Amino acid sequence: MLSVSNLKVCYGQSEVISDLTFSVPKNETLAIMGRNGMGKTTLFKSLIGILPSSEGVIQIDGVDISTLESYQRVENGIAYVPQGRMIFPDLTVKENIETGLEVSKLKEIPDDIYALFPVLREMRNRKGGNLSGGQQQQLAIARALVTNPKVLLLDEPTEGIQPSIIKDIANILNEIKQLRDITIIVSEQVLSFTMEIADRIIVIDKGKFIHENMRNQVDSHQIKKYLSV
């Protein structure tokens, strides 16, 4: 569903993503794990088109999106939940979700969105900025989902969220995977979370993949070693 080949991303002279090649099939959840500063956000920003890549090809469902603008990439089926959630604090919950609707050509927020996130229905007229961190994370996921993506990217969805809410987010992502034909890619540092949701785990280190395993073959001690400073 997503296929990336020889991707290279730089900030000026400094190469942050080096020659990455990987693909993620339909209905797989992939976790890309790595310490701070290893290139997770840079990778996601280049996939969604916020950052230009210097080399490489990105394909969604066989369509080359490498040279498209972000909004065109979204139209082609990729959606992004940024690190820190980046919801619009002064818009209501409903208005925040509606910002995603244009691409899907729907007029109204579909019921299945509120079924996945009952708390957002309850709070639909509240300002986004007044929600808790966990609720804002749900809002950011809802906003991405209404574009009806084939590939959903989530950049560190558990950051700054308490353990009980982390469990809720894991349940929601597993439910989304059950309900839709969707490929999910999360970047993370929390192994207990990725073990709940991922089919496959990859470790990124200084812009390169250094380890990869299916979840049922994961050696947690080894991954924890990669993740500790």
The listed partner (ligand ATP, Mg ion, none) that binds 39, CB under 5 to 8 Å by sort, is: ligand ATP
E strand or H helix that includes residue 198: none
Helix residue ranges per DSSP H, 50-132: 70-75, 93-98, 101-104, 111-116, 118-122
Q: Which residue is nearest to Mg ion (CB)?
A: 41
> In whole angstroms, what is the distance from residue 88 CA to residue 127 CA?
8
Tell the smallest beta-carbon distance from residue 38 to Mg ion (Å).
9
Tell the smallest beta-carbon distance from residue 206 to ligand ATP (Å).
8
Q: How would you list the strands of the sheet with 63-64, edge to edge?
A: 14-24, 2-11, 55-60, 63-64
E strand or H helix that includes residue 153: strand 151-155
The listed partner (ligand ATP, Mg ion, none) that binds 37, CB under 5 to 8 Å by sort, is: ligand ATP
The token pair that represents 154 in the structure block:
């989530």
Judged by the rule CB under 5 A, the positions of this chain that interact with Mg ion are 40-41, 83
The listed partner (Mg ion, ligand ATP, none) that binds 42, CB under 5 to 8 Å by sort, is: ligand ATP
Judged by the rule CB under 6 A, the positions of this chain that interact with ligand ATP are 11, 16, 34, 36-42, 83
Tell the smallest beta-carbon distance from residue 140 to ligand ATP (Å).
15
> Which CB atom, from 114 or from 209, has the smaller least distance to ligand ATP?
209
